[in-house]
Every structure is written in C-alpha cells, then in structure tokens.
Amino acid sequence: MSDLNLFSSYTLGSLTLANRAVLAPLTRNRAGAGFVPSEFAATYYSQRASAGLLISEATQISQQGQGYQDTPGIYTQAQIDGWRTVTDAVHAKGGKIFLQLWHVGRVSHVDLQPDGQAPVAPFALRAATKVFVNNRFEDVSEPRALETAELPGIVNDFRQAAVNAMAAGFDGVEIHGANGYLLDQFIKDGSNQRTDAYGGSIENRARLLLEVTAAVVAEIGADRTGIRLSPVSPANGVSSSGPQAQFDYIVDQLNALDIVYLHVVEGATGGPRDIAAFDFESLRQRFQNTYIANNGYDLDLANSRIAQDKADLIAFGRPFIGNPDLVERLQIGAPLAAFDPATLYGGGATGYIDYPTLAESNAR
C-alpha cells in the first residue's frame, strides 16, 4: 500500500497531470455542420479541465468511420479548426487533452455512410445493436466485409487523423480499440470470421489494431499515443471465445511499442464489472507504462486501486456530465449532482454546458 490517491499528481509521458482523475470519452451527439465540434464544445471541455487528463468524445477518422448522428470528425480542415478552439480553451485552464480516434465499422447505418453505401466490417455479420440516426435509435445496417486490399487505407486514415489531432493542438491521441467498434470487431472471433491474414489466429485478429498503433506511433510518437481496450465487454454485439489469451498477447505487443497508456474497460461497458472471468491484473503487470482503469469506479475503489498499485489513473464517465467540477467535489466529499438523461444525446447548450459547479450552486 502507498499514500498515493486520486488527487496525487502524475507524470504521463512528458505531461504532468494535476491529479489521477480522467474524463472518459463521452459521446454527446452535438457536432454542427460538417461534423465540426459544437460551438459549445470549448466551454464543455474547459469546464472539466480540472481533471488530470481529458479524453475527447469518440471522433471519426473518416465519413466511413461514422456510426451516429452529429458526432465530430477529424478529417477536414474545418474540423481541425473547430477542435483547435477546444484545445486552446482546455490549455488556458491548465488542462491536458487527448483526442479519441474512432472507426465504428459495422456499427453504422447507410444514411450516415458515403453515398448511402453499406457500413464496413471484418466479416459480413450484422451487429445486434442500434445507432442514433435520423433523430432516433435505429437498427444498424447490413455491413459488407472489407477487402484485404482496403485495410492499408484504414491504417492510413488513423495515421492521418493523428496528424490532424496534433495540428488541432491535442496533447495526444487515444486509439479506440474497444466497445465493439471496428478494431474490436477484428480482435474478437465472434465478429471476425475472416480467412486471410487478418482472421483466424490470435495474432491475425490483432493485426489491424497493431498496424494502426504502429502507424500512429511512427507519426506522432509513442509518448503521445494511448489505446482503449474492452476485453470482455459485449458492447455492440461482439464476443470472444478466449479473451485472456487474446488480450495478453495484444498487451505484450503494445508494451513493445512503448505507447504511453493502456485504457481498459474492466467488465461490461457501463455495466457489471464481473460480467465474465478475466484477470485484468495480468494486463497491468504486462504493460510497463500507464494503466488507466475504467468502469464503475467511485472514490473509494479508485483510491484503493491506486494505493495498491493496480492502476495509475482512473477514468470517470457519466459522473462528469452533471458535475463539471467532479474532482473538487470528490476531494471535499460534496454530493454529486445527477444528469438529465433526456439531454444526454443531441441538442444544444441545455444539458451540456449548463450544469453548475458546487460553488455556483451555493451562490444561487
């Protein structure tokens, strides 16, 4: 046991974080025309800049990578410029922020795809899930399998998105390899039934994730590259017959690439931590750099894991929505405010930037 806790400072690569609390990626569906971040996004993120690290909402690397209505991109100059207003605002408050790079794969709808084409996937298996499109939740569309020759283009889209993120002023990027989206679809054998070099064995199914990571590292540096994984989460209809061996292998390879952090969803995304047997401590021990733990954490569990050296940083998601000053509230033991589920996805300022801090609430 150590004296370290959630409020201790931390060195992440070349960055010094004020504390060990992380704003987890939170999709809010508020991008404007051209999938540029909302006019309110700079305020939203800067309000939460007291977190040691902010990770942006999932941000598509291409139009093909989009799966939900009104989510922002990072593949046009207008999007880069829009994100620059966010990073400037966060840095003005002394915060640090990474951009999460996203390709949804089969978790999409033809109304979101270029020219109404089918979404892409490792294999032509439709996901048992819905997406937010046309102002409502609809079943995903039938996907088509990616050709082997198309995969270098996917890798390059991630690489270019990382370049664009640096141009937008981010401190780094997080590759989204979790929650049943494209890279996770390749990893897990429930969604990947390919017979080429990207399917079958543990090594083959990890290939695309590792190629993407290596390309991003080569472009922007390992100390600016993190990755998010969800070994046992069934999010968006994925499943794995042998997650321990699969993710032990992946983490060994990521460790060799020396990326700055591993962000792990422990259990079902937004659900039970004990949904399936899995030794997360194995991933922690295999990975030499920063381990960010995510899913169902409160202050006591966070402090316990940090003190026992089972995690370096702790990611909080929905508690940050209604509590822009979450870190300060946790530190003084103040009650946490609830958020309004009706304003979670889509809309404008209401339910986005109008949640007061504790000081603002007390002043009313």
How confident is the model over 95-138, as pLDDT tens digits? 999 999 999 999 999 999 999 999 999 999 999 999 999 999 99
| Tokens 């620059």 sit on residue | 84
Average pLDDT over residues 222-238: 97
- Residue 355 lies in domain: 10-363
Assess if residue 232 is contained within a domain: yes
* Total structural domains within the chain: 1
Assess if residue 189 is contained within a domain: yes
Assess if residue 1 is contained within a domain: no
| Tokens 């939460």 sit on residue | 48
Residue 267's pLDDT is what? 87
Nearest to 293 by CA among 63, 96, 88, 21: 21
pLDDT at 2 over 80: no
Active site residue 297: no
Distance of CA 25 to the CA centre of its chain: 5
Q: Helices 243-257 and 202-220: crossing angle, nearest 10°?
A: 30
The model's confidence at residue 1, banded by pLDDT at 50, 70 and 90, is low
Residue 241's pLDDT is what? 95
Dihedrals φ, ψ of 215, to 5°? -65, -40
pTM over 0.95: yes
Q: Computed from CA positions of residues 159, 160, 162, 166, in that sequence, does the dihedral angle turn out positive or negative? A: positive
Select which of 181, 261, 345, 352 is catalytic: 181
How do residues 62-89 score in pLDDT, each as one tens digit? 999 999 999 999 999 999 999 999 999 9
Please report, rounded to a whole number, the percentage of residues in the chain having pLDDT higher than 90.
Answer: 95
> How many C-alpha atoms does 49 have within 13 Å on its Cβ side?
19
| Tokens 């690569």 sit on residue | 13
Say how many residues make up the chain.
364
Assess if residue 105 is contained within a domain: yes
Residue 66's pLDDT is what? 98
Taking the C-alpha atoms of residue 200 and residue 205, their distance in angstroms, rounded to an integer, is 6
The model's confidence at residue 156, banded by pLDDT at 50, 70 and 90, is very high
Measured CA to CA in angstroms, residue 317 lies from 54, 56, 100, 127, 339 at distances of 11, 11, 14, 24, 12
Residue 364's pLDDT is what? 67
Assess if residue 308 is contained within a domain: yes
Assess if residue 4 is contained within a domain: no
Residue 224's pLDDT is what? 98
Mean pLDDT of all residues in the chain? 97
Please report, rounded to a whole number, the percentage of residues in the chain having pLDDT higher than 70.
Answer: 99
Average pLDDT over residues 196-219: 98
By the 8 A CB rule, do 231 and 246 touch? yes
Assess if residue 21 is contained within a domain: yes
Assess if residue 257 is contained within a domain: yes
**What is the CATH number for 191?**
3.20.20.70
Residue 361's pLDDT is what? 86
Residue 85's pLDDT is what? 98
How do residues 280-336 score in pLDDT, each as one tens digit? 999 999 999 999 999 999 999 999 999 999 999 999 999 999 999 999 999 999 999
Residue 4's pLDDT is what? 94
- Tokens coding 281: 């401590």
pLDDT at 19 over 80: yes
